[in-house]
Amino acid sequence: MGEIFVVRTTTGREAQVIDKVESKTKEKGLSIFSILRPKQIKGYFFVEALEEDDVNRAIYRLRNAKGVLGKISFEEIKKFLIPTVQTIKINTGDTVEIISGPFKGERALVKRITKAKEEVIVELLEAAVSIPITVKLDSVRLVKHEEKKE
């Protein structure tokens, strides 16, 4: 097991930086074992690596990566590892209601789900022209599951 380091990012861009860190880790063969991004903390994520130099090499010249702040103990991040049960599953083809943002109150059809970024691409049902809209997964509420045809 390696040490855990705190990486600072631009708020809201954590997922993009993590994707790039994963790519660089594979490409350069860095000793990075895991990455943790708690929803409760904005602008930061945690990286388990053999040494800080590997983390620095992974974020070097990455847009929105601000730097490594140092080490943190496992005890300090253990609270973020408690599993939570996701009660509602949204699938492609389901009807949802947008509950926040500029399209609040609108009903839409789910076209695609990006679980890594926690986003859903929907098309508004009552729009004159069908335009795909990307919203956060927690910004939609399930109205109706798609009926499976056999």
Give the C-alpha separation, 17 to 67, whole Å. 11
Per-residue pLDDT, 9: 97
Per-residue pLDDT, 26: 93
* Residues of the chain with confidence (pLDDT) below 50: 85, 87, 150
> Where is 142: in which H helix or E strand?
strand 140-144
Per-residue pLDDT, 95: 93
Structure tokens given for 50 = 């053999």
Per-residue pLDDT, 97: 93
| Pairing mode, strands 119-124 and 3-9 | unpaired
Domains contained in the chain, CATH given: 3-81 (3.30.70.940), 95-144 (2.30.30.30)
Q: Is 72 helix (H, G, I), strand (E, B) or coil?
A: strand
Give the C-alpha separation, 118 to 101, whole Å. 16
